Amino acid sequence: MKVGIFSDTHLGFSAGGKRSGDALMQAKQALQILVNERVDCIIMAGDFFDDGIPTQESWHDAFELLEIANSAAKSGVSVSLEKKESKSAFDFSGIPIIAIHGTHEHLSKSRKNALDVLQKAGSLLHVHAAKSVVEKVGDKVAVFGIGGVPEKYARDALNAWKPIPEKNALNVLVLHQSFTDFLPFDDEMTATLALEDLPKGFDLVINGHLHWSLQKQLGTTIFLLPGSTITTQIKSSECLKPKGVFILDSKTMDLEFKEIPEQRKAFHAKLKFEDARPQKVLADVEQEIEGFLKQNTGKLEPLIRVKCIGSLEKGFAQSDVNFSGIEKKFSEKALLSLDKNFDSADFKKTISELRALQLEKKSVSAMGLDMLEKKLLETSFGNAFDVKRIFELLSEGKTEDVEQILKAARKN
Ligand SMILES: [Mn+2]
């Protein structure tokens, strides 16, 4: 069997911004590659949408995208979904897509998430803490999926589920989390899972969430990060390889990478200065941008991120480095993201300040949820109920529902 793999399409990303069309444009090419390669089934590893509650426009994008697989010629496989004791056949048109939700689509247990809606529409199969078996004469692939959850619950969620590989099948585990092995520093708040925590006996483990692509052999298991189909944050790890899809041959276990033909290239540089004058910084940044523009082979204006660190000559402050001239000069040629973070005697960044900056990158709702969780831990409620649900209800103004949940929690 040929299994197509893609992840993190982030439909709706940068809505209204300069890159508003990128997510759909690149995802359509990704899916088209898999259809052209006549894969038998397709696995999607989460973050199909950029938002947990997609906009009308994002739904439109989703159906436009999925139609590519849904209207393709049938591959002749049968697909079933097994969750706990129940087993049902998935009635699909075209080439079946087996998907998990990502951290972006994650909602509290009591709610239907965006992928549940797509499954109801027959567009894909949403597998969460469940197994889907794909069969074609003499060939069987068992896909075990678990959707993305907040990192601090990831380890517990995986341990509670305990997927057991099938005999006489190719066993694939699909998840959507961070792994401590891939973090630049040890930070318990951003990942609880390590590669060694992965359940054993799987032939292939596919992990979404991390947007760069990587393939790693773990004993008899192939660990694959398919990477996203779009660059959301311009990180150095993401700029090294182009975006694309993977195709697995279930017989030979060969994994082939296919690049998305028309994609917005991303470049990243970190320039380090020592006692430099602002003029020198600006000249170097400009030279770096020129170099990247020469390297850009794509038709689209590239994403270029340049970060300047180090120190400025005595008497100069960070505010003396003004990028506005450069931004104007290249405004038609590239999407620039220029950043400066110089050390200076009167403005030394402490670790805690950096952490605070990192926190600021979180969405307002994520920060709000964190605060609510912290406050609740200080009360007698502790973690007696689903905080995310409470937060959602509070933000929708449904205080009466919140009161009821709190009353019920007090009884327990
Ligand atoms: Mn993602």
Taking the C-alpha atoms of residue 228 and residue 243, their distance in angstroms, rounded to an integer, is: 7
What number is the average pLDDT over the span 238-260?
Answer: 94
Distance 372 CA to ligand 1 centre (A): 24
For 99, the token pair is 């998907």
Mean pLDDT, the chain, rounded, equals: 90
Distance 400 CA to ligand 1 centre (A): 34
Taking the C-alpha atoms of residue 118 and residue 123, their distance in angstroms, rounded to an integer, is: 5
Q: Label residue 195 by pLDDT band (50, 70, 90).
A: very high
pLDDT digits (tens, 9 = 90+) for 26-59: 999 999 999 999 999 999 999 999 999 999 999 9
> Of 241-245, 257-261, 401-405, which gets the smallest average pLDDT?
401-405
Distance 320 CA to ligand 1 centre (A): 36
Distance 71 CA to ligand 1 centre (A): 26
What number is the average pLDDT over the span 97-119?
Answer: 94
Distance 225 CA to ligand 1 centre (A): 11
Taking the C-alpha atoms of residue 51 and residue 58, their distance in angstroms, rounded to an integer, is: 9
pLDDT at 362 over 60: yes
Distance 50 CA to ligand 1 centre (A): 8
Q: What domains does the chain contain, in order, with CATH numbers?
A: 2-259 (3.60.21.10), 266-359 (no CATH), 364-411 (no CATH)
pLDDT at 346 over 50: no
Taking the C-alpha atoms of residue 307 and residue 285, their distance in angstroms, rounded to an integer, is: 9
What number is the average pLDDT over the span 197-208?
Answer: 96
Are 51 and 104 in contact by the 8 Å Cβ rule? The answer is yes
The reported pTM is 0.81
Distance 65 CA to ligand 1 centre (A): 17
Distance 94 CA to ligand 1 centre (A): 26
Distance 228 CA to ligand 1 centre (A): 7
Distance 208 CA to ligand 1 centre (A): 7
